[in-house]
Amino acid sequence: MTVVDNINEVLELDHVESHLHPEPSYDVATHPVPTGLEEIWRFTPLKRLRGLLEGEPSDAHLTWEQQLPEGVTLSEISTEEAQGLAVSAPLDRLGALAAANAGGAVLLDVPDDLVVDEPIRITLSGDSTDRTVWGHFVVRVGLHAKATVLIDHKGSTVYDAFTQVVVGDGAQLDLVTLNDWADDAVHAEQVNIRVGRDAAVRVFEFTLGGDLVRTSTNVDYAGPGGSADLLGVYFADAGQHIEHRLFADHTAPRTRSNVLYKGALQGQGAHTVWIGNVLIRKVAEGIDTFEQNDNLVLTDGARADSVPNLEIETGDIAGAGHASTTGRFDDQHLFYLQSRGIPEDEARRLVVHGFFNDIIRRIGIPDVQERLITAVEHELADV
């Protein structure tokens, strides 16, 4: 029996049933069509998924463009090969349908010990919402390797994807995702990440466009010492539904997770959903975790739902906590700026930029940081 087999066996034996995260499985039949009453679906407007839950096959594809530094490869693998990797199976129907209907997977491979100094860039573009696109993407970062992967989503589409991320022991990965879709796009995606022993992962997710975007990012650990930072920024306009679901599953001792998402909303019917869940299993002694979500409501008619959850099965932890805030502008901040001669509109812009920049500045990719700052400025022009 291999090390991977041992890890998977332990995780299966220690699996905890949760109303927030059902049994993982590639079998679509084990994930019933939701009614909207289930805990993991109750915030999602199911009709706006445009038939994704029915899972009709399609041979439509997004357009792929890539910039691959030396030593990094992009190839096609079978669905069976992807399923054999040491990553959790899909946790909901959308993830299982994407894996089943994609007809294989695309593998981005960073070999052992390779240090990639420049970002690996993948751009996925759609040009129509007439047909459903299914996607299965795998990112594999080898032992002690180091890389930054940027995945940029653009255009119009109805897209459902299952993404697997395998981070080897001692490796470091920054995974940056931009969901900058056209106004009519529908995007559902599940990202399952397994963090190796003493490995470090930072995930940045930025959602600005789309009619409906629902993403689920799930992290577990293949050994002690793993670290995961899940960071996100989102901005919803009138009529948009943006939903982010985060799950840090501490399956090994002395692991760490930190979740911080910030969102802004404006316009009638703008709706954001943030669900954070941390599960600390009995074996996960000495772990440290914190999750936080902050929302800034800019106009009347917008709604932010924020639900942090913390499930603890051991008393031997270094730290655990969660927080959530939703509110309008801080009047004291605005008064301070206006008292120094800054007009009210400009003062509001400065407050919003300061709200988001704490996360944006951490990316370390200058052109992406500039693009996001410009996008926020564009959104604020409509306030």
Say if residues 16 and 313 touch (Cβ distance below 8 Å): yes
Buried-exposed string 341-350: b where 16+ CB fall within 10 A, e elsewhere: eeeeeebbbe
> For residue range 354-364, what is the model confidence (pLDDT) as tens digits?
889 999 999 99
**What pLDDT, on a 0 to 100 scale, did the predictor assign at position 23?**
87
Residue 259 Cα to chain centre, angstroms = 11
**What pLDDT, on a 0 to 100 scale, did the predictor assign at position 348?**
75
Buried-exposed string 44-55: b where 16+ CB fall within 10 A, e elsewhere: beeeebeebbeb
Q: What is the mean pLDDT of residues 270-280?
A: 97
Q: What is the mean pLDDT of residues 195-202?
A: 98
Q: What is the mean pLDDT of residues 219-242?
A: 98
Say if residues 196 and 224 touch (Cβ distance below 8 Å): no
- E strands, the chain, where? 63-67, 73-77, 105-110, 120-141, 146-167, 172-179, 186-195, 200-207, 212-221, 227-236, 241-250, 256-265, 271-280, 288-297, 303-312, 319-327
> For residue range 288-347, what is the model confidence (pLDDT) as tens digits?
999 999 999 999 999 999 999 999 999 899 999 999 999 887 666 666 667 777 776 777
First-residue to last-residue Cα distance in the chain: 59
**Region of poorest pLDDT, from 23-37, 140-154, 322-336:** 322-336
Distance between CA 166 and CA 139 in Å, rounded? 6
Return the closest-CA partner of residue 196 out of 175, 165, 171: 171
Return the closest-CA partner of residue 52 out of 188, 150, 217, 201: 188
Residue 10 — very low, low, confident or very high, per pLDDT cuts 50/70/90?
very low
| Helix (H/G/I), strand (E/B), else coil: 51 | coil
If 0-12 CB within 10 Å is exposed, 13-18 middle and 19+ buried, where does residue 329 land? middle
> For residue range 68-100, what is the model confidence (pLDDT) as tens digits?
999 999 999 999 999 998 789 999 999 999 999
pTM of the model: 0.92
Distance between CA 74 and CA 268 in Å, rounded? 42
C-alpha distances out from residue 130 to 233, 256, 267, Å: 29, 43, 27
Residue 214 — very low, low, confident or very high, per pLDDT cuts 50/70/90?
very high
Q: What is the mean pLDDT of residues 145-171?
A: 98
**What pLDDT, on a 0 to 100 scale, did the predictor assign at position 17?**
53
Task: Specify the higher pLDDT residue, 9 or 37.
Answer: 37
Q: What is the mean pLDDT of residues 158-173?
A: 98
**What pLDDT, on a 0 to 100 scale, did the predictor assign at position 6?**
38
Residue with tokens 């009638």: 268
The rounded percent of the chain whose pLDDT value lies above 70 is 91
**What pLDDT, on a 0 to 100 scale, did the predictor assign at position 349?**
78
Q: What is the mean pLDDT of residues 39-68?
A: 96
- Centre a 10 Å sphere on the Cβ of residue 108 and count the other Cβ atoms it contains: 21
